[in-house]
Amino acid sequence: MIRSATVSDTARLADLWRAAGLRFHPWLADSELAAALGQDLLLVDEEAGVITGTVFGSYDGMRGWVHRLATRPDRRGRGIAAALLAELERRLRALGCPKVNLLIEPDNTAVAGFYARFGYQRDDLLFMEKWLTPPPGPTSIIPNEPAHSPRAPSPRPGGWRDIGPDLSGDQYVFAAADQVPRGVAPFAAIREDEGLTLILTRADADRAGLRYGYLAARITLRVNSALADVGLTALVSRTLAGAGISCNVIAGLAHDHLFVAWDARAQALALLRDL
């Protein structure tokens, strides 16, 4: 069921954005939503009391904009995003809006194909911005959330940008074993003086009858980082620690892989995407 959102939906909308991995500043969410509510262009899809998708638009008299089109990860593939986009376009058209624009961040270009199916075309533009108030940064305090620690020094002139965090859908566990069980391909195996530790999916651990406790999610940083690089691990660990999220890092030759608490995976992904 698609309906107009209300102020009472604010907290659930922010929760959905986090779950969907959208970048947003929590301390600006209230004003962002208030502007959309004023034009009746903030829409949600709701199923059995659960908000499964969201989109909101704006219209400045010349062009409309599409913002925050997102679907809850476990409800994707059902046409929710397409239905929300169609309804938003209908409402913009009713306001006399002749054209609709949207922006896609460089690390999210995979969604371009979705919009292309609905007639959206790419246009090469130079995007510029200016903060009229001090820009929210990693040292800003988010209401009801821990303060972020300052960013770690970066070895690159431009800083660590577009680290490309990619969340796996599998649950991972750390399990002790005498050897790698037959038919199991662990993500990593660590030999310590105390024995062998396997990092593997929970499904593989259950099939092999291995015991475990900590349930983790795996986030791979798609940025190419060399083993000799300095600063990336410190930046990531400080960011997650500032939010009270445990983080275990394993470095491969191409990428770093983070294992965070399963229940904190959406929040961790949102924090990393906002770096």
Q: Which of 20-29, 151-160, 263-272 has the lowest mean pLDDT?
A: 151-160
Q: For the chain, which residues make up each domain, given as ranges?
A: 2-116, 165-273
Q: Does the structure show a pLDDT above 90 at 201? A: yes
Question: Between the CA of residue 9 and those of 4, 12, 67, what are the distances in Å?
Answer: 10, 5, 16
Cβ–Cβ < 8 Å for 39, 55: no
Which parts of 35-187 are beta strand (E)?
A: 42-47, 50-59, 64-71, 100-101, 165-177
What was the pLDDT predicted at 246?
A: 85
- Compute the half-sphere exposure of residue 89: CA atoms within 13 Å on the CB side of its CA: 14
Q: In which band, very low, low, confident or very high, does the pLDDT at 156 lie, cut at 50, 70 and 90?
A: very low
Asked if 24 and 267 count as a contact pair (C-beta separation under 8 A), the reply is no
Tell me the pLDDT of the chain averaged across its residues: 80
Q: Is the pLDDT of residue 98 over 70?
A: yes
Q: What percent of the chain has pLDDT over 70?
A: 82
> CA 172, CA 187: separation in Å to the nearest integer?
9
pLDDT at 45 over 50: yes
Query: Within the chain, where are the H helices?
Result: 10-20, 29-38, 80-94, 112-116, 202-208, 232-242, 265-273
Q: What is the mean pLDDT of residues 169-189?
A: 91
**Segment 223-260, tens digit of pLDDT:** 765 555 556 777 788 888 888 888 899 888 878 899 99
**Equal fold, 2-116 vs 165-273:** no
State the burial class of residue 121 (Cβ atoms within 10 Å of its Cβ: 0-12, 13-18, 19+).
exposed
Q: What percent of the chain has pLDDT over 90?
A: 28
pLDDT at 225: 58
Residue 139 DSSP class? T
- pLDDT for the residue 153: 37
- List the CATH code of the domain at 2-116: 3.40.630.30
Residue 35, pLDDT > 90, answer no
- Say if residue 140's pLDDT is above 50: no
Q: What's the CATH architecture for 165-273?
A: 2-Layer Sandwich (3.30)
pLDDT of 195 higher than 80: yes
Q: Quote the CA–CA distance of 212 and 201 in Å, as a whole number.
A: 11
How does residue 177 score in pLDDT terms, banded at 50, 70 and 90? very high
pLDDT of residue 128: 79
DSSP letter at 180 equals P
